[in-house]
Amino acid sequence: MYQLLTLTETAARICGDQPTLILFHRHPDGDAIGAGFGLKLILEAMGCTVYCVCEDEIPERLRFLTEGLQDSILKESLPADFVPTQIISVDTASPAQAGILYPDYEGRFDLMIDHHAKGEMYADGYIDGHASSAGELVYRLSRELVKMGRIPAIPEGVDRLLYAAISSDTGCFRYSNASPETHRAAAALLEAGFDAADLNHRLFGVKSYKLLQAEKVGFDRLKFYADGRLGIVDMPYTVMEQYGFTDEHLGTLVDVARGLQGVQVAVAIRQPKAEGVYRVSMRSSCEVDVAAICAEFGGGGHIKAAGCTVTCDEGMDEVVEMISRALLAVL
C-alpha cells in the first residue's frame, strides 16, 4: 500500500509554500528534536509555515537546541487557525510511537522519514534502517534539495541541529551505528562552524541533580543474570514517587547497566504511572538482536538498541521475570 521512496523521490515529493506539520515520536530524544527542527528550518526556507508537534514536551535538558524556534511542541499550543496541508513524520517508526496524536492525523501523512529497520509504515517513506539516525537522513535530504535547486543553500542553524541529532543517537559517535557515512556526514556538518565541543558537552556532559540521583538509585536496584552478561535496572512507580522522579529523569537509566564491564545486554524498565504499564529500553553490545526481543512484546527498534511497552497487572517483578526469561533464551 505504501511506497519506499528514494532520496531523490523524497526531495521531489516535499511541497514548498504549504502549511506543514512535522510530527515526531512521544518522549522525544535528541535525534527526533534535531532532525525535526532541522527539517522545519529547511521547509521554512522553501516558503512553508511549519510547526513541530509531539505528544510530549521537549525535555528540559534539550530545550537549548530549539531556543527561539518554537515555544512548545504540544498540540494545544498550535495556532487555532493553523490547518496543515502537508504532514511529515520524523523518527517515528509506527503509529504507536506517535502516541495519542496518531488518530488525529491518521490517513493524512504525506511522508515519513525514519531510520528504524523494523517498523510499521503508515505513509510513503524515506526509510533506511542502516542510517545512524533520522538526523543523518535529513542531512542527506538537505543536500539533495540544494542539488536540485529547491533551496539555494542550507539555512542557518540547520547543520547544528542535524549534528546534534546524529550525535544523540550515536552516543557521541561511540555506538556501532556510527558508520563511515555517518562520520562523513558529521564532518560536513561541522563545516558550518558551530561549537561542537560545547554542543556535545551539553548533550552528554551536563546532568541535573535528579538525573544523577536516578542513576544512583538505579545502580542500587541493578540485578545481574547470565554470569553478569545481562544487567537489568528497574524503577517502579513507588520508587519514582518516593524520589520525585519523572520520566525525564530516567533517560540515562539504561546506561547504568550498559557502562559496566562484562554487561553485554543492558535493560531499563520503568513504570511512569501507577497503572500496570512498563516502558522497557534495551541495549546490546553483542550478537543479541534486542529489536527481535522487543518485537515479542510489541515493540521494536534497532538490532543494538530497542524498546517496548509491556502491560502487566502482576507488578514489576513479573515484568523483570518476563524480560529476563526472553533474553536468557538467547544469551
Specify the pLDDT at position 301.
84
Run of H or E including 41: helix 30-45
What confidence score (pLDDT) does residue 89 get? 98
Place 302 in a pLDDT band, splitting at 50, 70 and 90: confident
pLDDT score recorded for residue 82: 97
Residue 54 — pLDDT band, cuts 50, 70, 90? very high
- Tell me the C-alpha distance between 289 and 98, whole Å: 24
φ/ψ of 330, rounded to 5, equals -120, -5
Cβ atoms of 199 and 297 within 8 Å: the answer is: no
Burial of 7 (0-12, 13-18, 19+ CB in 10 A): middle
Alpha carbon of 190 to those of 67, 76, 138, 287: distances in Å? 20, 35, 15, 33
Residues across the chain: 331
Residue 117: the pLDDT is 81
Q: Report the pLDDT averaged over residues 166-175.
A: 95
Element (H, E) at 327: helix 316-328
Of 179-183, 246-250, 320-324, the least confident? 246-250
* pLDDT per position as a tens digit, 102-138: 999 999 999 999 999 878 999 999 999 999 999 999 9
Query: Which residue type sits at 5?
Result: L
Record the cell numbers describing residue 193, joined without a space: 562552524
Question: What span, in angstroms and rounded, lies between the C-alpha atoms of 46 and 43?
Answer: 5
Give the domains, in start order, of the chain with CATH numbers.
Answer: 7-205 (3.90.1640.10), 209-328 (3.10.310.30)
Q: DSSP labels for 212-236?
A: HHHHHHHHHT-EEETTTTEEEEEE-
With bands split at pLDDT 50, 70 and 90, how would you rate the model's confidence at 178?
Answer: very high
The arithmetic mean of pLDDT across residues 158-170, rounded, is 98
pLDDT in tens, 136-147: 999 999 999 999
Which residues are CB-neighbours of 106 under 8 A, at least 6 positions away? Answer: 95, 122
Please check whether residue 75 is in contact with residue 52, taking contact to mean a CB–CB distance below 8 angstroms.
no
Q: Give the SS3 label for residue 16.
A: coil
Average pLDDT of span 165-184? 96
Mean residue pLDDT of the chain comes to 96
Residue 211 DSSP SS3: helix
pLDDT digits (tens, 9 = 90+) for 210-252: 999 999 999 999 999 999 999 999 999 999 999 999 988 998 9
Do the beta carbons of residue 112 and residue 122 sit within 8 Å?
Answer: yes
pLDDT of res. 100: 95
Model pTM? 0.92
| CA distance from start to end of the chain | 37
